[in-house]
């Protein structure tokens, strides 16, 4: 009986020791700081720590040089973003997008920010590069059958209402030229072969051991019990056709991307 009473007390002691240790390691006392300023800014060691944290937690999506990949180009975003806002975005993420929230100590986030502020940045271009109007026409002619923008268009591919804020140019070029390089969950290609030999190709919406749900090319959502079908074929190739240079010239691609970068949807950030 005594042990059971002792245990929580011990736990409390250990956890308060950890809190004290962390407080010490942070080395920054917020009550002695000038208000609203990152104490790590320009500090070499902090910048180096920040770089390690960045590579570990952000590089995968924003690229090691921060020019963006699955996430936007931070070198273009940072000049227009005050520290308060940057801190808020990194702490809370962007709800409803792939940008994750973080529960790291404030001090780590501040070191990370010191690293980001130390990167060379470019001012965001005033006007998107490429002929946006022409890009919009190309999009309407080639892409709306599968992609929705602001509620209009097909559902076979992802909604692109916010793609200009969510993806870097590099990611957009790669997606259009070689869509099979990366296929997000919910859009993987499958073909279900029924027992009578019928083939249904589409995007795999979900799957478990016993069943698979597919959106076919005509956007009909169908569920299949695996034991009732002949075969489920998984395909690495995207449902999206590739647009190589023969099909879409560099100049047309540039216009198309010019248009896509204007698609910034509603700001979903909780203020």
CB of 226 to ligand HEC, least distance (A): 23
Contacts of 134 (CB under 8 A, 6+ apart): 252, 255, 259
| Spatial separation of the C-alpha atoms in residues 56 and 49, rounded to whole Å | 11
Does position 184 bind ligand HEC by CB under 6 A? yes
CB-CB neighbours of 49 under 10 Å: 18
Does position 214 bind ligand HEC by CB under 6 A? no
CA dihedral 45, 51, 54, 57 (to 10 degrees): -80
Residue 7 vs 264, nearer CB to ligand HEC: 264
Does position 132 bind ligand HEC by CB under 6 A? no
Stretch that binds ligand HEC, among 9-17, 26-34, 35-43, 160-168 (CB under 6 A): 160-168
CB of 3 to ligand HEC, least distance (A): 42
Does position 47 bind ligand HEC by CB under 6 A? no
256: closest CA among 150, 145, 146, 175? 175
Of positions 130, 179, 202, 258, contacts ligand HEC by CB under 6 A: 179
| Spatial separation of the C-alpha atoms in residues 168 and 186, rounded to whole Å | 21
Q: Give CA angle at 227 (224, 232), nearest 5°.
A: 60
Of positions 110, 143, 212, 215, contacts ligand HEC by CB under 6 A: 143
Q: Give CA angle at 242 (202, 68), nearest 5°.
A: 100
CA dihedral 90, 95, 97, 103 (to 10 degrees): 40
Does position 98 bind ligand HEC by CB under 6 A? yes
Does position 202 bind ligand HEC by CB under 6 A? no
Stretch that binds ligand HEC, among 35-43, 69-77, 118-126, 222-230 (CB under 6 A): 69-77
| Spatial separation of the C-alpha atoms in residues 51 and 19, rounded to whole Å | 25
CB of 264 to ligand HEC, least distance (A): 8
Contacts of 31 (CB under 8 A, 6+ apart): none
Of positions 38, 51, 63, 72, contacts ligand HEC by CB under 6 A: 72
Size of the site for ligand HEC (CB under 6 A): 49
| Spatial separation of the C-alpha atoms in residues 163 and 148, rounded to whole Å | 11
Residue 182 vs 210, nearer CB to ligand HEC: 182
Does position 258 bind ligand HEC by CB under 6 A? no
Residues at the contact surface with ligand HEC, assessed by CB under 6 A: 57-58, 60-62, 70-72, 74, 77, 86, 89-90, 94, 97-100, 102, 112, 139, 142-143, 145-147, 156-158, 162-163, 165-167, 172, 175-176, 179, 182-184, 187, 203, 238-241, 243, 256
């Amino acid at each position: 009986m005594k042990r059971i009473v002792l245990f929580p007390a011990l736990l409390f002691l250990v956890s308060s020791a950890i809190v004290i240790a962390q407080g010490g390691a942070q080395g920054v006392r917020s009550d002695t700081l000038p208000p609203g300023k990152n104490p790590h800014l320009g500090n070499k060691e902090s910048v180096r720590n920040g770089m390690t944290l960045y590579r570990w937690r952000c590089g995968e999506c924003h690229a090691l040089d921060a020019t963006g990949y699955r996430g936007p180009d931070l070198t273009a975003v940072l000049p227009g973003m005050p520290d308060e806002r940057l801190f808020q975005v990194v702490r809370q993420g962007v709800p409803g997008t792939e940008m994750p929230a973080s529960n790291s100590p404030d001090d780590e986030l501040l070191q990370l920010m010191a690293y980001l502020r130390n990167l060379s940045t470019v001012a965001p271009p005033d006007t998107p590069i490429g002929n946006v109007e022409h890009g919009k026409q190309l999009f309407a002619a080639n892409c709306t059958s599968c992609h929705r923008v602001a509620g209009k268009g097909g559902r076979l591919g992802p909604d692109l209402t916010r793609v200009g804020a969510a993806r870097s140019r590099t990611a957009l070029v790669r997606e259009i030229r070689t869509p099979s390089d990366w296929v997000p969950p919910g859009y993987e290609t499958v073909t279900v072969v029924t027992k009578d030999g019928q083939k249904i190709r589409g995007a795999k919406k979900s799957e478990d051991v016993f069943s698979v749900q597919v959106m076919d090319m005509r956007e009909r959502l169908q569920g299949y019990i695996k034991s009732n079908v002949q075969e489920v074929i998984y395909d690495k190739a995207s449902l999206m056709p590739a647009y190589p240079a023969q099909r879409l010239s560099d100049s047309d691609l540039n216009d198309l991307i010019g248009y896509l970068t204007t698609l910034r949807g509603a700001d979903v950030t909780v203020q």
